[in-house]
Amino acid sequence: MLGPTSPLPDLARPDVGAALFSTWGVGTPERQRATVDALAHSWDSRPWPSPELFSQNVYVGMDGETLMHHAQWASEEAYLAFVRAQRQERVDEIDAAVPGIERHGIANYRRYRGFDTRAAGDPRVPGCIVVIKADFDDPAPELRRRWIDAVIEALETDPAPSPDLISADFHLIVDGARHLANDRAQVLNYAQWTSEEAYDAAIAADDPTPEWERVRHFAGFQGTTAKRYRFARSFVRP
């Protein structure tokens, strides 16, 4: 089993102008491990590519087949400069080590709001990152902001909150329009849970309050998909 070798990123840091998320299909747990090793070599063996890249983070899908990448850049322009000048040599090295990786595109998000249950000295450790994508039938950013506001209100007023939800950070896809490889009006929720079992228990114990019913029946909301990951590695700016 892959375990974390560095601290998780701070999703609330204010200098992140572009939070880029993407997924790779690699096929098997063995290829997951090999790809993380290849990624680590490609980053550790080169100088840091840009002062405008704050962190590059890798997560292993609990499905045994996927990886998720989460990069924190100062701006989209800085990322595109990296693509033009430096990205391909890293891709070539990784593909030589693990042929046949399926890259499923990359999308640019910006954090809007968060919900955090931690206090000073909180001993809980995130054992499961649940990435929930919510889709809407209208690209207007204001619609998605109001939906996120409703979700946070439901979390804050829940009479029986799960003690295993550590935090949830809500991101808006840039402009709600086609961006890089994603053309959906979308919200991404990056939620930290103590374990996969705790997340399953919270879902099974579902007893919706009026606030949660409002979230589920929100006009324009089309539903969600969720993927589960374990944090594997963070590469951070020196």
29-55 pLDDT tens trace? 999 999 999 999 999 999 999 999 999
Count how many Cα atoms sit within 13 Å of the Cα of residue 222 in the half-sphere of its side chain: 10
Which residues, 6 or more positions from 90, have their beta carbon under 8 angstroms from its beta carbon?
A: 42, 43, 46
Q: Which residue has the tokens 């402009």?
A: 175
**Model confidence at 99: pLDDT above 50:** yes
Pairwise CA distance, residues 211 & 219, whole Å: 14
182-205 pLDDT tens trace? 556 889 999 999 999 999 999 998
Residue 189 is encoded by which pair of tokens? 């929720």
Q: What is the mean pLDDT of residues 8-17?
A: 96
Q: Which residue has the tokens 């929930």?
A: 132
Q: What percent of the chain has pLDDT over 70?
A: 93
